[in-house]
């Protein structure tokens, strides 16, 4: 599970990723970082995997901390993941990178993604819309937009009043 509050543990980048998977090789760690879009960032660090982050080390932005948490999840390789507002803290600057990372770690797994970002709901197999603590709509993105209900209102507001498309915004870096 990755929640809204990403945590960076005091220690090296490697330590942060292998906390739940101590037998992981450096190659597996690098693959997890690549999958969430952090490999290029890692290459800029003075000691790459041995760079100390967190308390007493390099302080990460909220978006980088979340990407690191997603890489940790990827390395664990669970069959089912829960992302509870895992991209919420990114702000506009890191939102696309986190959306791409979240999509990458959910591919090939069962996933429950709790999100307010409609960019994530558009790529989901099933969208469940809640209001006042109860389910008010459920279906695919296309079904819900075509139905013209609450989801369609949110989608149209997010994509712009003049754009009434059922398609998601233009994908970035290979996302669907």
Which of 15-29, 61-75, 162-176 is the least confident region?
162-176
Q: Tokens in use for 77?
A: 């390789």
More confident residue, 8 or 175: 8
Summarize the confidence of residues 52-62 as an average pLDDT.
93
CA–CA gap between residue 51 and residue 8 (Å, rounded): 13
Q: How many angstroms separate the CA atoms of 160 and 162, rounded?
A: 6
β-bridge pairing 80-84 and 52-53? unpaired
* Residue 11 reports pLDDT greater than 90: yes
pTM above 0.75, yes or no: yes
Over residues 72-87, the mean pLDDT reads 92
What value does the mean pLDDT take over residues 129-149? Answer: 94
Average pLDDT over residues 92-101: 79
1-116: which CATH architecture?
3-Layer(aba) Sandwich (3.40)
Q: For residue 93, what pLDDT band results from cuts at 50, 70 and 90?
A: low
Structure tokens at 47: 């000691």
Instruction: Dump pLDDT digits (tens) for 116-130.
Output: 778 778 888 999 999
- Pair of tokens at residue 57: 């080390």
The Cα angle at residue 103 between residues 98 and 174, in degrees rounded to 5: 90
How many whole angstroms separate alpha carbon 13 and alpha carbon 79?
24
Quote the percentage of the chain above a pLDDT of 90. 64
d(CA 29, CA 76): 10
pLDDT greater than 50 at residue 162: no
Residue 105 has which token pair?
Answer: 């770690």
- Mean pLDDT, residues 60-83 taken together: 93
Burial class (CB in 10 A: 0-12, 13-18, 19+), 31: middle
Q: Which two tokens stand for residue 139?
A: 């279906």
Q: What are the residue boundaries of the structural domains of the chain, listed by start? A: 1-116, 119-176
Q: What is the mean pLDDT of residues 75-87?
A: 92
Instruction: Check whether 149 has a pLDDT greater than 90.
Output: yes
CB 104: neighbour CB atoms within 10 A? Answer: 20
**HEC readout, 24-92:** CCHHHHHHHHHHCCCHHHHHHCCCHHHCEECCCCECCCHHHHHHHHHHHHHHHCCCEEEEECCCHHHHH
Check residues 62 and 168 and name the one with the higher pLDDT: 62
Both structure tokens of 145: 């937009």
């Amino acid at each position: 599970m990755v929640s809204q509050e990403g945590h960076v543990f005091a220690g090296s980048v490697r330590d942060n990723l292998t906390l739940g998977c101590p037998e992981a090789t450096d190659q597996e760690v690098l693959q997890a970082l690549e999958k969430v879009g952090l490999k290029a960032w890692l290459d800029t660090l003075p000691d790459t995997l041995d760079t100390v982050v967190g308390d007493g080390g390099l302080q990460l932005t909220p978006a980088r901390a979340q990407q690191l948490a997603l890489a940790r999840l990827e390395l664990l390789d669970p069959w089912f993941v829960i992302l509870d507002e895992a991209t919420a803290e990114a702000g506009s600057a890191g939102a696309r990178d986190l959306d791409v990372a979240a999509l990458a770690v959910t591919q090939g797994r069962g996933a429950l993604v709790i999100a307010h970002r409609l960019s994530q709901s558009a790529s989901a197999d099933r969208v469940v819309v809640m209001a006042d603590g109860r389910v008010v709509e459920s279906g695919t993105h296309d079904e819900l937009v075509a139905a013209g209900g609450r989801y369609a209102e949110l989608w149209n507001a997010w994509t712009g009043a003049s754009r009434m498309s059922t398609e998601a915004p233009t994908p970035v870096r290979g996302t669907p």
